[in-house]
Structure 1
Amino acid sequence: MKIDWAALGSVFGISLLITVALVALFTLGIVGLSRRERAAAQGDTAAVAVTGAYACFAACAAAVGYGIYLIVA
């Protein structure tokens, strides 16, 4: 049995990169929602932050859905 170390390293690197990107995107969504809470406490609106947060969450959901699609297909 021969292991293709280059392919294994490539899969590991891409997986690590995608994982970090998804965590960062989800974190941006949480930050956007926390800005909404802060703005509501001050009596302001944070429509841009909320829209950005929902876009981040939608992108995370799309990436997870695509990953599940790749596994099932």
Structure 2
Amino acid sequence: MITTLLLGIAVLFMAILLMGIKVFFTKNGEFPNTHIGGSKAMRERGISCATSQDREASNRVNLIDQIIKEKV
């Protein structure tokens, strides 16, 4: 049982080390930006993430509010 636990911990440690090799061993290393807004091709197509779209929609003034402001 202890052998299996130690083997599992060793495998997990190696997996984390191998996944983060660029981050751990390069100067100014960082994980890649996987956010939709970080992709140039997605921005060119006008595609953004749901969080960004929600933020933009909540900042927009709806038509009724625009009409009321014009009359006042």
Common topology (TM > 0.5): no
Structure 1 or 2, whichever has the larger Rg, is 2
More helix by share: 1
TM-score w.r.t. the length of structure 1 is 0.31
TM-score w.r.t. the length of structure 2 is 0.32
